Amino acid sequence: MTKKQFRSELFGFAYFPNYESSITFLANTLADKEAWNFSDTIVRNNSILKNYLEFTFRKLQQEKKIIFTGGNKFACFNTGLVTENLEDIFAFFEEYKNPGKGLTTPFRFKAFLKKSDNTILQHFSHSIPDIADFFDKPELLIFNPKCDLIPDLDHIIGDNLSRFPPHLQKADDAELRRQLVGAIEEVKKRVRPNYKIAVPQYYDNKIQLLLPLCLTSGSPNPDLILVIHKLNDTTYTARTCLTLKLAYNNARLIVKPQSNWLKP
């Protein structure tokens, strides 16, 4: 099966003449400080922030929360980020009247601006863009210890072997199953008295929960992240697992994770 090519909806909407410097300004100067690079990253290019903006923009498009002025001369969206003083931060665009050769984007990015900026107040004071809404069903954000957790082991192993630790990718099916079952049973015991272990993520237009799986003895960090979702009022099911990086990117869309195990 051919891997689906990634297409940026944000870049399809607007041309960014100085993308890297704009992202650096947002991360280092304007927004409240947080880690936007993974700890093992050699090239520090704020990859977490870039992923966050792309998928936040997609959610805002779905909710029709991109705001335009008359004649579509200007556009703006709420990034969901805030300054150190808790002011909302917006992405501001102007109509792109004369795009360069091969460019078809309708807008040109101008700046990331805080709510009190004169540009935002001048053009959008009567229609301040709202943040993306990930909380249609808040009860899904918290693990319910009264529910059963039933994983589809065959699906988890068959579709995600490349995400397992290298030493387990070479193990036979029986050994791999034993390790996975043991790790899932352990985390089930841990999460029932401490629901905060389960971290919510947003993926494929729905809320899921993330649970850390420790497959390597003595490792300070989980090896895999089990993705569970509510099947009905009494049951969670799990059909896939993620690496720590994939899990953090998905979880950061909702809010900065406060877990002691899910860190960039």
Domain boundaries, given as residue ranges, for the chain? 9-124, 138-252
What number is the average pLDDT over the span 142-152? Answer: 92
Distance CA(152)–CA(180), nearest Å, equals 11
Q: Which token pair is 226?
A: 């089990």
CA dihedral over 104, 105, 107, 113, signed as positive or negative: negative
Query: 264 or 127: whose pLDDT is higher?
Result: 127
One-letter amino acid at 163 equals R
**Top mean-pLDDT range of 120-124, 134-138, 216-220:** 120-124
228 pLDDT above the threshold of 80: yes
Contacts of 213 (CB under 8 A, 6+ apart): 180, 183, 184, 187, 222, 223, 224, 225, 226, 241
Confidence band of 3 (pLDDT split at 50, 70, 90): very low
- Cβ atoms within 10 Å, residue 20: 11
DSSP string, 92-137: EEEE-SS--TT---SEEEEEEEETTSHHHHHHHTTSPPPPP---SS
Distance CA(52)–CA(61), nearest Å, equals 14
Q: Which residue has the tokens 């989980």?
A: 222
What pLDDT score does 138 carry? 82
In DSSP terms, 76 is beta-bridged to 67, 92
Give the chain's mean pLDDT.
90
Distance CA(239)–CA(102), nearest Å, equals 42
102 pLDDT above the threshold of 70: no
What pLDDT score does 79 carry? 98
Confidence band of 24 (pLDDT split at 50, 70, 90): very high
One-letter amino acid at 87 equals E
Contacts of 116 (CB under 8 A, 6+ apart): 87
What pLDDT score does 1 carry? 37
Q: Which DSSP helix (H) or strand (E) runs through 120? A: helix 118-124
For residue 210, which of 252, 175, 177 has the smallest C-alpha distance?
252
What pLDDT score does 103 carry? 65
What pLDDT score does 58 carry? 95
Distance CA(144)–CA(125), nearest Å, equals 42
Question: What pTM was computed for the model?
Answer: 0.88
What number is the average pLDDT over the span 224-253? Answer: 94
What number is the average pLDDT over the span 216-244? Answer: 90
- First and final CA of the chain: distance in angstroms? 30
Distance CA(104)–CA(81), nearest Å, equals 28
Confidence band of 210 (pLDDT split at 50, 70, 90): very high
What pLDDT score does 259 carry? 84
List Cα–Cα distances, 42 to 18, 24, 26, 37, 47, in angstroms: 22, 16, 20, 9, 12
What number is the average pLDDT over the span 115-143? Answer: 91
Q: Which token pair is 24?
A: 């650096």
135 pLDDT above the threshold of 90: no
What pLDDT score does 34 carry? 94
66 pLDDT above the threshold of 80: yes
6 pLDDT above the threshold of 70: no
104 pLDDT above the threshold of 90: no
